[in-house]
């Protein structure tokens, strides 16, 4: 299939591919960034290893792809290498469908066998200590406590957390509506402890916005400059309190998501309900899981999540 106004460079085709992922597949910003980085790394390799490469060559052969794999094999983990090859495979499939290349050079190039590493998960004791570490006497402490509480109470991805707007949170009802992967919305409950932390943060957030005379900011979590908190800021926040709490394991924001799921499972929650709470796409594409009504999710959450059973006074 030939399209009009075809790009004349590698970068042009990459931009068109990323646009396709964003518009047609609803890819998240984080997913687009990963694809862009992976494919741009391969483009840089082409520039360094093809004498006549002028930025407009996309047709390559499998041997060149294998040379690229060899060049980075000892520099990245097997999971990273597998992701890079998957990104290139998708990119060249996109080009093949549009008649830009005659064959996909990733055909016959195997992805490495990946190590099956278990995710890092905190114990309940360490999790409670981490979440309770931010000082309630400071405005930053109040915000950070709310961030940690909501991460653990809901199992949100960090991108979902920072993307939350204030009108998507029902503190009284104890649930939040998030926009997950593939631009799919889901409602996730949280317990009394997180609700109390969010109530306290709402007071400080209002003070920050009033001080800046900022009335348009809709983000739930903001910086002192009244800008939306970023994923990197949340990662630094978690690192800070992991050190202060002296928990035994290093944990990332995504690690709190794993911890959320593990603690629910250990308490007896059905795996299908946990998958629904996490918003995994497999629920909508396979028959191994069944859709669970929101009311049932709330019931499972209230019965099984350790933080939901604790009072807002953090006994």
What does the pLDDT read at residue 117? Answer: 59
What DSSP character marks residue 191? Answer: -
Torsion of CA 76, 237, 156, 216, to 10 degrees: -120
Catalytic residues: 157, 181, 254, 257, 280, 289
Residues 6+ apart with CB under 8 A from 195: 171, 172, 174, 312
CA-nearest of 149, 144, 148, 147 to 164 is 147
* Measured distance CA(298)–CA(187) in Å, rounded: 10
Is the CA virtual torsion 248, 195, 280, 19 positive or negative? negative
Task: Name the pairing type of β-strands 185-189 and 169-170.
Answer: unpaired
* Measured distance CA(147)–CA(238) in Å, rounded: 9
What does the pLDDT read at residue 80? Answer: 87
Phi/psi of residue 244, nearest 5 degrees: -65, -35
What does the pLDDT read at residue 130? Answer: 92
Q: What is the pLDDT along the chain (315 residues), one digit of tens a residue?
A: 344 568 878 889 999 999 998 888 777 787 888 999 999 999 999 888 876 665 567 888 888 899 999 999 888 888 888 889 999 999 999 999 998 888 899 888 887 775 555 567 888 889 999 999 999 889 999 999 999 999 999 999 999 999 999 999 999 999 999 887 777 788 999 999 999 999 999 999 999 999 988 888 999 999 999 999 999 999 999 999 998 887 777 888 988 988 888 888 777 777 777 777 887 765 432 223 223 334 546 666 787 888 776 544 444
Pair of tokens at residue 132: 């309770």
For 10-97, give the CATH class. Answer: mainly alpha
User: Can you tell me which residue has the tokens 């499998």?
Assistant: 62
What does the pLDDT read at residue 116? Answer: 53
What does the pLDDT read at residue 51? Answer: 66
What does the pLDDT read at residue 290? Answer: 29
Pick the CATH number of 124-304 from 3.40.309.10, 3.40.30.10, 1.10.443.10, 1.25.40.10: 1.10.443.10
> Per-domain residue ranges for the chain?
10-97, 124-304
What does the pLDDT read at residue 238? Answer: 93
What does the pLDDT read at residue 24? Answer: 82
């Amino acid at each position: 299939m030939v399209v009009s106004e075809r790009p004349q460079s590698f970068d042009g085709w990459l931009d068109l591919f990323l646009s396709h992922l964003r518009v047609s597949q609803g890819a998240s910003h984080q997913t687009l960034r990963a694809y862009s980085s992976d494919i741009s790394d391969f483009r840089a390799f082409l520039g360094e290893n093809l004498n006549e490469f002028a930025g407009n060559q996309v047709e390559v052969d499998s041997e060149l792809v294998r040379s690229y794999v060899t060049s980075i094999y000892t520099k990245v983990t097997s999971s990273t290498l597998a992701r890079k090859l998957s990104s290139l495979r998708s990119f060249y499939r996109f080009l093949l469908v549009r008649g830009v290349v005659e064959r996909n050079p990733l055909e016959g190039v195997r992805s490495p066998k990946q190590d099956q590493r278990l995710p890092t998960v905190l114990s309940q004791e360490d999790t409670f200590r981490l979440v309770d570490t931010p000082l309630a006497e400071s405005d930053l402490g109040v915000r950070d406590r709310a961030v940690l509480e909501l991460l653990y109470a809901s199992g949100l991805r960090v991108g979902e957390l920072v993307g939350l707007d204030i009108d998507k949170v029902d503190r009284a009802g104890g649930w939040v509506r998030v926009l997950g992967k593939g631009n799919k919305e889901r409602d996730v409950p949280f317990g009394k402890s997180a609700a109390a932390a969010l109530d306290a943060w709402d007071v400080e957030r209002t003070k920050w916005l009033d001080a800046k005379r900022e009335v348009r900011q809709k983000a739930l979590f903001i910086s002192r400059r009244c800008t939306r908190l970023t994923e990197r800021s949340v990662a630094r926040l978690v690192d800070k309190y992991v050190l202060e709490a002296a928990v035994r394991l290093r944990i990332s924001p995504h690690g709190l998501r794993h911890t959320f799921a593990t603690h629910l499972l250990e308490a007896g929650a059905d795996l299908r309900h946990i998958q629904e709470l996490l918003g995994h796409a497999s629920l909508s594409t396979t028959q191994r899981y069944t859709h669970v009504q929101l009311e049932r999710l709330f019931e499972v959450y209230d019965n099984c999540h350790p933080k939901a059973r604790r009072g807002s006074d953090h006994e």
